[in-house]
Structure 1
Amino acid sequence: MASRDSAELVWPRSARSLLGRKVRVGDVNVGSVADVVVNRSVGHVLGLVVEGRSGQPHFLPWVAARVEEDQIVPTSVFGLLSATELSFYLENGVRLSHAIDGPGAAGGPLDDLLIDPDGDVAAIVRRRPATTPFAAEAAG
């Protein structure tokens, strides 16, 4: 979807690459991306958890966000929702950080998600098992 991103961006892109990005409304930095929220089946991005400059959490629905090379821009000043709406999405979705740190809602620990401009998950990148020198010797 060309209107959602600049022509230079390559899709699908890493969900992890969005973490820490500034969220800007015009020339004003309103916060940064603290997490990505996906639906329970880990098939679609619901939106972004934005930590405001005051430390308050907000929710930016994916449909109201435009991903640019170095920032995220809400498509409307009304797109950045309050902590009340954030709690609704967190109750009905999965934080990327929880899927990475925990057992993973998609059947195992995740390392990343590759997402397309519409928020659909194009690929799940599974965490590779840690290897030890002993495991390498046993395999060899």
Structure 2
Amino acid sequence: PGVVLFVLLTLTLIRGFAPWLHNVEENPLESLLQTPRDAVIFSMVVIIAGGVREELQRAFILRRFEQHLGGASVGLVVFSVAFGAGHLIQGWDAALVTAMLGVVWGVVFLTRRSVIAPMVSHAGFNILEIVRHLSQ
């Protein structure tokens, strides 16, 4: 719930104070959701690729930075910026929010020393985004 509230608040602030950052009319990933079958397949993809793979990758990279490359804080910034940049196709606003989510999930991992909470949160957020799109 905290992640969803964070995203809603951040997007509201961005659209209120920096509307030019909303530069993509329609999220191109949402165009992949045309049928119920598409939604099921895309749900599996966002759980596996988004929730599991990205969080395992984040944990691996943060650990490497922590041990060998300048510290966890440096890794958190570098990987969060890269994570946001990977979502630029969805718009500047989405990329900015995604980078901030990367920081949130990275901090959760670094605090708990477990990938489970970030995985569940990330996968759950992605599924909620699909449900939000389908309910429009």
Q: Which has the higher strand share?
A: 1
TM over 0.5: no
When the two structures are superposed, what TM-score results if normalisation uses the length of structure 2? 0.27
Larger radius of gyration: 1
Structure of greater relative contact order (alpha carbons < 8 Å, 6+ residues apart): 2
Length-normalised TM-score, structure 1: 0.26
More helix by share: 2
